[in-house]
Structure 1
């Protein structure tokens, strides 16, 4: 996953996925969404979309990134 921290890449990948916190996704769903985003966009593509979203919708992006970071930490804790 390159030189960036693996957890950062995973959080960015979850952020750009269609998965929503309101769905209360399972660990398996989170991991699958992360993998699908990385497979589709690559780490750089995920980061670019995160940056775009923070530029266009900073009010919403912050909350989503907080959720994505927490969800990734929980989903990969035992991994």
Structure 2
């Protein structure tokens, strides 16, 4: 169950407005994830991730790597 929640959070952060260059805090990351899931839903986030990987695979890889690391830090228990 935790892996699925992490996947949704990563996808949400990936498609959110938040950028690595903003040097976001854990609070910023959590807010962006919740707002993006509220806006697009879980399926909508996944669709947008797939679209980005299809259109810009070279950039998408780095963004997803950042999103995964950021989510793990922001939602660590």
How big is the shift at 1:65? 0.1
How big is the shift at 1:27? 0.5
How big is the shift at 1:68? 0.2
Q: Under a length normalisation based on structure 1, what TM-score does the superposition of the two structures give?
A: 0.93
1:43 & 1:67 partners in 2: Cα distance? 19
Count of residues in Structure 1 that have an aligned counterpart in Structure 2: 76
2:75 & 2:17 partners in 1: Cα distance? 19
The residue number in structure 1 matching 2:12 is: 13
How big is the shift at 1:36? 0.5
The residue number in structure 2 matching 1:36 is: 35
How big is the shift at 1:57? 0.1
How big is the shift at 1:75? 0.2
What value does the CA root-mean-square deviation take over the aligned residues?
Answer: 1.3
Larger % of helix: which?
2
How big is the shift at 1:54? 0.1
Unaligned runs of 5+ in 2: none
Moved over 3 A (4+): none
The residue number in structure 2 matching 1:26 is: 25
1:62 & 1:32 partners in 2: Cα distance? 23
Q: Under a length normalisation based on structure 2, what TM-score does the superposition of the two structures give?
A: 0.95
